[in-house]
Structure 1
Amino acid sequence: MKKIIVVLLLTLAITSCKAQKTTESKDSSQPNVLVFYVDDLRAELGCYGSETAITPNIDQLASDGVLFNKAYTQQAICAPSRMSTLTGLRPETLGIYSIFTPLRKVHKDVVSMPQLFNKNGYKTVSIGKVYHHSSDDKKEWSVYYGKEANTYNDPKNIAIIEQLKKEGKNPKGPAFDAADVSDEAYKDGRAAKYAIETLEKLKDDKFLMFVGLSKPHLPFNAPKKYWDLYDKSKFKIPSREKPEGIYRLSLTKWGELKGYHGIPKEGDLDDNLTRNLIHGYHASISYIDAQIGKVMQTLEDLDLRKNTMIVFMSDHGYKIGEYGAWCKHSNMEIDTRVPLIISRETNYRKRKAGKTSDALVENVDLFSTLVDICGFEAIPSDGKSLVPVIDNPKQKWDPIATSVYGRGKKIMGVTATDGKWRYTEWRDAKTHAILGAELFEHKDNLLSFVNLSGNKKYQEVEQRMKKLLETQFSRNDQPFLQNDQPRR
């Protein structure tokens, strides 16, 4: 009898040991996740075919993963687009379209990405600008470095700001700064420093880390050495022409730029100032590219790359003079299309590297993708896992990608692309009555200058795109509720 009991105990011990090893194996197979979340960056990168941008580190990341050539944000403005990414819910689900409304003011119980990862045993890290509102950020992360104010280092610009303060005027400062200083003298250099220090501390833990890089958002402040990479005279002045036949509220002309010192309050910018700003946008891109390179090198040095999935993304696109505008704030292709690169951990057996996908994907898909990759229990989401496309970049995917942009509380613009055509309807936000429609062709370019809606030659295309749009935005659906009236 004693022998039987001993055998049973040994059997249970062995079984328990095997189960523990299985659990440990499963846990160890869950990758770390590092997301570079960039502000106001359109696909102006070498790996996306830019003829001007110098981005060797991001280009290297693209060669080490899958570059998505047709990725789109859900709204071309910071706060709602970031909420969508971090919750997996579209702006029309959250009911928040304004930059002024924090997520938690409306939604106390929606599960965010950091909350889900915390629950599943990960250390979660927020560095720089991740959510737009710091009130959404602080309590949801294990490690939190909030977004910092803009830094000016050029003595002339510092003097200007001090004088503005004395005069009681808005001390926002000039639109660009190019001091001969170290990377850490500006805030994205410090963000990279915090990321590196945190990686060194968490090297033995599972982690989800968001590194929020603020450039190339205005002001275009970056160390002089990144400005020196470019010859300002080589930048072409974009056409200021507006598309013909667009809805009266289709474009926002200026956005934030007009609030900066030295920018004329009326009229278009002259060519010299235009080139200075384009130069600053590119210098800012090369600056954040260098910070990404530092963080990536740290992953290698700490032997973390083999089990770390990398995501590089932007919250929305941006216009640097196109259509005479300097902002996002529209449903146009140039504002809704974003760069997206996903590189699986190097020990993942199906890993694809140096591949390009033309699948229509969206920023809202990231939530479901990470849930799938990390093996978490699925929770409700408006996105879908991109794992099948990451493993097979040529796979056919969704027929459309959609975005929204509201004009106040009474008018909502809803838009869809099939990768070639973009169709937009401007609707009464309550009744869904169509106030205006736009059809633009975007075969190989971000810009289009003629609204083809109503043109008999393109009637079949417009009807097809209209049907695709309505699969997402039914005209008989609920009103586009805003801010204090979430749908769920």
Structure 2
Amino acid sequence: MKKIILLICIIGCILKGAAQNKTPNVLIFYVDDLRAELGCYGSPTAITPNIDKLATQGVKFNKAYVQQAICAPSRMSTLTGLRPQTLGIYSIFTPLRKVHKELVTMPQLFKENGYKTVSIGKVYHHSVDDKSSWTTHFPKEKNSYVKPENIALMERLKAEGVKPLKGPAFEDANVEDEAYKDGRAAKYAIETLHKLKEDKFLMFVGLSKPHLPFNAPKKYWDLYNKDNFKIPSREKPEGMYRLALSKWGELKGYHGIPKSGDLNDDLTRTLIHGYHASVSYIDAQVGKVMQTLEELDLRKNTMVIFMSDHGYKIGEYGAWCKHSNVEIDVRVPLIVSRETNYKKRKVGKTSNALVENVDIFPTLVDLCGLEGPESDGKSILPIINKPNTKGDKVATSVYARGDKIMGVTATDGVWRYTEWRDSKTQEVLSAELYEHKNSLLSFVNLSGQAKYRKVEDKMRRLLESEIPKDQGPFLQNDRPTKK
């Protein structure tokens, strides 16, 4: 009998070990326009219990950065592990595969290695990208309005030939979650998880909010009191380069938004309210999908990543949206929860290591034991496993102003240094130096001040070690972004 019991124990240990060594699944929540406006990041206003719970089960990165603060290039960078200057695509106009048919992308590599690859909602900016690399593909849906008066408005604007055709910048219909597209994205994710529970998978759940328009069910608006939101300072940094901030035409294109000048306080508060409602809305969708992982007993073998394609301004500097090199636009939330022992983590870990979205692809290659393509990023798996591990010395981003001027920027986690260069000659037209030790915002350009010369020299060397001026012109394979 003792021998039988011993044999059963040995077999049990072998099976347990095999289960632990099983190639993990990967689930990525890829959110649009989300800055670190979350409870777990210290937001005094955001109500995000489900994302906060995920942070207690993994590693929250305080210093995560994107490679460009605009949807298409940022997402291409994540899915290829290559920076925009490697891809030569800096605007939203060109699909990846129109230019680069030869590159091996994340879904392509995982599919070739036996994974079911799933794209739900907005993953690439262009739904046509990489279609053959997804075994299941739910394309992103267009923005929708539910209120009858807004539906009628859209029909009228269309009949009048208004272009671009955009309705109101926000809506708060008293409807269920699935009336809007992110609720449907969660529904598709849940249905697909049930179908794939016996397979290994790489799943992206692309959540479109809090991208404009801020359309979310009324119950999420009701979580907040509009009057409690503070109006951000409209002050612009002293000495800032004239093209450092965009003219935020993305917001001004929406019906009812003034075409020029600052927004008044009432409209500002309404939009901030809408942004928060949209964040709480996507938080609820994350909760539904995570609950399904638990119910299907998939959580123990699924790495979960929560990330954003770039940050966002909701009135700071008197500006809106992204489209810049400033800290609040290029810093993003990033939470990574390992598939093993997550239940034992009563309190999540925090890492202040510098990491970048371009690191995600090589990290997953490392995690899953695959042989991946060359990458501009590096695996951050050692940091995920030991959050106190130091990261890189610098994180860089770029932003083009037309085809003649390129902004290149670097941070060491405290200081941000930016050069605005002639795209062809690399001549430095202007420079900026900002301190961000205690805030996402900074209001004085310290570049050129004698007191900060050593800091600026250090940051210049860090920037030019990653984006050297002698590299030649910045290649552009797509249409230039407008100034």
- What is the TM-score with the length of structure 1 in the denominator? 0.92
Q: Give the letter for the 1:41 counterpart.
A: L
1:155-187 C-alpha deviation (Å, 9 max, x unpaired): 222222222223332441100010000000000
The 1:374/1:260 distance shift into structure 2, 3 A limit, reads: same
Residue in 1 that maps onto 2:86: 93
For residues 42 and 450 of structure 1, do their structure 2 counterparts lie closer, same or farther at Cα, with a shift above 3 Å needed?
Answer: same
Using the alignment, how far apart are the partners of 1:349 and 1:268 within structure 2?
48
Match of residue 299, structure 1, among 277, 293, 297: 293
Unaligned stretches of 5+ in structure 2? 1-13
Aligned equivalent of 2:99 = 106
1:118 equivalent among 102, 111, 114: 111
Please list the CA deviations of residues 308-359 of structure 1 after superposition, one character each: whole Å capped at 9, or x if unmatched: 0000000000000111111100000000000000000035899896000000
Query: Counterpart of 2:431 in 1: which secondary structure?
Result: strand
How far, CA to CA, are the matches of 1:138 and 1:419 in structure 2?
37
Mapped partners of 2:290, 2:154: distance in 1: 36
Q: Please, which of 442, 445, 448 is the counterpart of residue 439 of structure 2?
A: 445
Which residue of structure 1 lines up, in the alignment, with residue 268 of structure 2?
Answer: 274
Instruction: Give 1:9-88 correspondences, 5 Å limit.
Output: 25=18, 29-88=22-81
Give, as a single letter, the amino acid of the residue that structure 1 aligns with 2:131.
K
- 1:253-268 pair list within 5 angstroms: 253-268=247-262
1:343, 1:353 within 8 Å by CA — same for their partners in 2? no
Structure 2 residue identity aligned to 1:130 = V
Amino acid at match of 2:273: H
The residue matched to 2:27 in structure 1 has which SS? strand
Q: 2:384 aligns with which of 390, 405, 421?
A: 390
Which AA in structure 1 matches 2:171?
Answer: D
Q: Percent identity?
A: 75
Indicate if the aligned counterparts of 1:320 and 1:326 stay in contact, CA closer than 8 A: yes
The equivalent residue for 1:183 is: 177
1:156 and 1:418 map into 2 onto residues whose CA distance is 49
Aligned match of 2:122: 129
Q: Which residue of 1 aligns with 2:427?
A: 433
Measure, in 1, the Cα distance between the counterparts of 2:343 and 2:62: 24
Q: Is 1:76–1:330's contact at 8 Å kept on the other side of the alignment?
A: yes
Give the match's secondary structure for 1:396.
coil
TM-superposed deviation, 1:379: 2.1
Matched, 1:330 2:324: yes
Look up the equivalent residue of 2:110 and give its one-letter code.
F
Equivalent residue for 1:454, pick from 448, 453, 465: 448
Distance apart, 1:137 and its partner CA = 3.8
Residue 63 of structure 2: SS of its match in structure 1?
A: strand
Tell me which structure has the larger Cα radius of gyration.
Answer: 1
Bigger Cα displacement from structure 2, 351-360 vs 178-187: 351-360
Matched residues in 2 for 1:130 and 1:27: separation?
29
The 1-side partners of 2:152 and 2:84 are apart by 41
- Verify: 1:313 aligned to 2:304, yes or no: no
Separation in structure 2 between the aligned mates of residue 234 and residue 349 of structure 1, nearest angstrom: 36
Amino acid at match of 2:209: K
Counterpart of 2:136? 143
Q: Deviations over 1:436-484 (max 9, x none)?
A: 0000000111111110000001001000100111110111112111116
Q: Distance in 2 between matches of 1:369 and 1:213?
A: 22
Aligned to 2:9: none
Per-residue CA deviations over 1:407-456 (Å, capped at 9, x if unaligned) read 11111110000111000000011111100000000011111111000000
Residue 28 (structure 1) shift: 5.8
Amino acid at match of 1:466: R
Q: 2:476 aligns with which of 467, 474, 482?
A: 482
Q: Distance in 1 between matches of 2:123 and 2:478?
A: 23
Moved more, 130-139 or 256-265: 130-139
The change in CA–CA distance for 1:60 and 1:26 in structure 2 (over 3 A counts) is closer
Superimposed CA distance per residue, residues 350-382 of structure 1 (whole angstroms, 9 cap, x where no aligned partner): 989600000000000000000000000132001
What is the rounded CA distance, in whole Å, between the counterparts of 1:122 and 1:51 in structure 2?
40
- Aligned-pair CA distance for 1:25: 4.5
Matched, 1:233 2:227: yes
Q: CA deviation at 1:247?
A: 1.1
Structure 1 residues 464 and 374: CA distance shift in structure 2, 3 A: same
How many Å separate the matches in 2 of 1:137 and 1:381? 18
Cα distance in 1 for partners of 2:21, 2:440 equals: 42
SS at 2:249's partner residue? coil
Q: Name the SS for the 1:435 alignment partner.
A: strand
Which amino acid is the alignment partner of residue 384 of structure 1?
K
Counterpart amino acid of residue 152 in structure 1? Y
Q: Secondary structure at the match of 1:211?
A: strand
Contact 1:402/1:414 (8 A) holds in 2: yes
Within 5 Å, give how 1:194-273 maps onto structure 2.
Answer: 194-273=188-267
Any gaps of 5 or more consecutive residues in structure 1? 1-20
Backbone CA RMSD of aligned residues:
1.8
Matches of 1:217 and 1:397 in 2, distance apart? 30
Contact (CA 8 Å) 1:65, 1:352: kept in 2 or not?
Answer: no
Letter in 2 for 1:398: D
Deviations 1:111-139, CA, capped at 9 Å, x for gaps: 00000000111000000000001120422
- How many residues align? The count is 464
Aligned residue for 1:10?
A: none
Letter in 1 for 2:434: F
The one-character-per-residue Cα deviations of 1:4-26 (angstroms, maximum 9, x if unpaired) are: xxxxxxxxxxxxxxxxx99x949
- Partner letter of residue 162 of structure 1? E
Structure 2 distance, partners of 1:167, 1:70, is 47
Counterpart contact for 2:93–2:478, Cα < 8 Å = no
